[in-house]
């Protein structure tokens, strides 16, 4: 089974009030997740959306899953996980300027979730998608993140794919 996770983060002020949204698509189910923070940055919310999405892959889902594609509109997250993180780890979490990597705690948490799934035999693919270009699941992840950043209540869907009102 293949799973897609669509993620987005939002910050009003950067730093300011923030929110994140994740949508997990399995062969049978759709799971929307979201959260907020009173004082944060966009990058932190983007990372948290990916962390929380990957955390949701557990139990019986792991046994059936061969591949997880994380779709993000954040080059920071995509490049961080595919180009930069191994170098940061090798350099004791220092970047190219020899200064400590920002959001190190979140990067470590994201790497831990990726490694947990990889150790279960699951291939992880990090895919960049352009933001605000009409991709329905990206737009919904953005809507969740933005509404939560703005302090609104969001009805999050968890149920059968057939009952989900977004075409994918």
Sign of the four-CA dihedral 116, 120, 121, 126? negative
132 is catalytic: yes
Q: pLDDT tens, 56-67?
A: 999 888 888 999
Which residue is catalytic, options 32, 37, 52, 73? 73
What does pTM read for this prediction? 0.96
Rounded to whole angstroms, how far apart are CA atoms 137 and 31?
A: 12
pLDDT tens figures, 119-166: 999 999 999 999 989 999 999 999 999 999 999 999 999 999 999 998
Q: Answer positive or negative: Cα dihedral of 85, 67, 129, 153.
A: negative
Integer angstrom CA distances of residue 72 from 9, 77, 105, 158 = 9, 7, 19, 20
**What's the CA gap between 144 and 48, in Å, rounded?**
13
Span 19-33, average pLDDT: 97
Please state, as a whole number, how many other Cβ atoms lie within 10 Å of the Cβ of residue 10: 27
Helix (H) or strand (E) holding 24: strand 16-25
Q: Is 160 a catalytic residue?
A: no
Query: What domains can you pick out in the chain, each with its CATH number?
Result: 2-163 (3.30.420.10)
């Amino acid at each position: 089974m293949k799973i897609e996770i669509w993620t987005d983060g939002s910050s009003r002020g950067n730093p300011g009030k923030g929110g994140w949204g994740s949508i997990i698509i399995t062969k049978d189910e759709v799971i929307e997740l979201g959260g907020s923070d009173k004082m944060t940055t966009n990058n932190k919310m983007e990372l948290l959306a990916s962390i929380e999405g990957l955390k949701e892959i557990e139990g019986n889902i792991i046994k059936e899953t061969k591949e997880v594609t994380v779709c993000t509109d954040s080059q920071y997250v995509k490049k961080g996980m595919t180009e930069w993180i191994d170098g940061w780890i090798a350099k004791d979490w220092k970047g190219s300027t020899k200064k400590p990597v920002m959001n190190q705690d979140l990067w470590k948490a994201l790497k831990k979730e990726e490694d947990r799934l990889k150790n279960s035999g699951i291939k992880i693919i990090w895919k960049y998608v352009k933001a605000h270009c009409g991709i329905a699941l990206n737009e919904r992840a953005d809507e969740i993140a933005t509404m939560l950043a703005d302090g609104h209540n969001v009805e999050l869907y968890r149920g059968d794919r057939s009952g989900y009102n977004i075409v994918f």
